[in-house]
Structure 1
Amino acid sequence: MDRKHIFEKVDHTLLTQTATWEEIKQICDDAIAYQVASVCIPPSYVKQVKDYVKDQMAVCTVIGFPNGYNSTAVKVFETKDAIAQGADEIDMVINLGLLKDKQYDLVLDEIKQIKAACGDHILKVIIETCLLTDEEKIKMCEIVTQAGADFIKTSTGFSKAGATFEDVALFAKHVGKNVKIKAAGGIASFDDAEKFISLGASRLGTSRIIKLAKNQEGTGY
């Protein structure tokens, strides 16, 4: 698979708690250079990043991250604020406790409210697959589809594990035709990236693919 085809599906990501502006600026520069899908950064940097990249790159940020247990009202406020600051795409974390309690209507309602707050901006729904049963993953494919979100996303990258090939294949089998798939967390090689894409992923959340490309070109960090 052509690497350009891989790069254009990458959300180039830096969400560590210690991320500095210089580090954020570097991934923005790399995102523009490699023409990736977006740069995914903490909400506190959205305005600064948008001012920096302008229209050269889509800006993605995270809501209710990484645990998902903020109240719905807080997540909706976070979403509206992020968009007002310049975010083009929103990656939200579901309330996993509500899912475990089978309070599906509440999970659905929260996603719907956040999608409404997004307007025509892209919404990706993080379900943290490593903490779920296959039954729960399938249920979330149904809920995300019903809610009208744009993507279902495997992981935050901050829990016990990241994306697996099995989970992306499961999503592809059960998600609605209008919902795309984002694999995130632990994507460490071009072979991994190609496999996830072949299984149905339209986006890859990773900090490593561009680093790997730069290192192979002798321009590593």
Structure 2
Amino acid sequence: MNIRNYLDSTYLKTANQAGISEVENEKIVMQFVQEAIDGNFKLIMIRPDMVVKAKKIIVEANAVTLVGTVIDFPEGESDVMAKLEEAQRAIEEGADDLDFVCNYKAFKEGDIAIVKKEVLRCTKLGLDNNKTVKWIIEVAALTDKQIIQLSSLIKNVIISNFKEEDYNCVFVKSSTGFYKTEDDLPNGATVRTIIMMLENASPLPIKAAGGVRSYQDAVEMVSLGVKRIGTSGAKAIANGEDTNQEY
């Protein structure tokens, strides 16, 4: 198995979160970009303000690595117009993948119409521009029942409004990797949550993000049926090693 084809190498910390200067943080981002190129990873996932620079490096290297970015990250609480505006900027700046944080808090409060609206409109924007769209549902914030319901909701919106050939371009993704849990509970993908997502989002593909920290973890996720893996330890995983990265 060529695990590199599944890896979305990820660095999403702000300088403040990393406790370093903006210059130092940008240097780390560019190191991740170069690692993704050198490692032939599927994609480099970065914050929106780094897309232009990352794309420039990849184009100059004549590399095939895709550039992904996050939208309304990490809370997902903005209204649909704010999400659309941020996504439009990312598209114009060269992003290939758009990973939207679903408004899972609205979903938990029963505001289903808000979630349906954002999934429909934001997905349409992405697909109209030939982009891959991913919906982050933040499994650690949800009960098992809510994981099942939200995965099904996203699937039903896509099936009802888009063509079958579009399905492979709309993922349901487990986690931001930034959600704070109590008692050190997992805040990302687990086998249990991924199985629930696979069973209820199909035929949409699944991205496992957060908590994949070894080559064995990654292989297990792919064997379950996952099509992408988001990790800040992509280099170690690709080399068959464990990683101590946070997400």
Query: What displacement does 1:147 show?
Result: 2.9
> Residues of 2 paired with 1:128 and 1:187: CA distance?
15
Q: Does 1:194 align with 2:219?
A: yes
> Residues of 2 paired with 1:114 and 1:212: CA distance?
32
Instruction: State the percentage of identical aligned residues.
Output: 31
Q: How does 1:66-145 map to 2 (within 5 A)?
A: 66-118=74-126, 119=128, 120-145=130-155
Q: Which runs of 4+ in 1 moved over 6 A?
A: none
How many aligned positions are there? 212
**Any conservation in 2 of the 1:46–1:85 contact (CA below 8 Å)?**
yes
Alpha carbons of structure 1 residues 98 and 176: separation in structure 2 relative to 1, 3 Å: same
Cα deviation per residue 1:18-46 (whole Å; 9 max; x = unaligned)? 27221111111111111111000000011
5+ long unaligned stretches in structure 2: 19-24, 159-168, 182-186, 242-247
> Residues of 1 paired with 2:146 and 2:238: CA distance?
36
Cα deviation per residue 1:32-79 (whole Å; 9 max; x = unaligned)? 111111000000011111111125211000001001111211111000
Equivalent residue in structure 2 for 1:34, among 23, 28, 39: 39
Look up the equivalent residue of 2:201 and give its one-letter code.
V
Provide the secondary structure at the position in 1 that maps to 2:175.
coil
Alpha carbons of structure 1 residues 107 and 169: separation in structure 2 relative to 1, 3 Å: same
TM-score by length of 2: 0.82
> Residues of 1 paired with 2:201 and 2:178: CA distance?
24
**Any conservation in 1 of the 2:8–2:234 contact (CA below 8 Å)?**
no
**Any conservation in 1 of the 2:70–2:99 contact (CA below 8 Å)?**
yes
**Any conservation in 2 of the 1:89–1:121 contact (CA below 8 Å)?**
yes
Look up the equivalent residue of 1:211 and give its one-letter code.
A
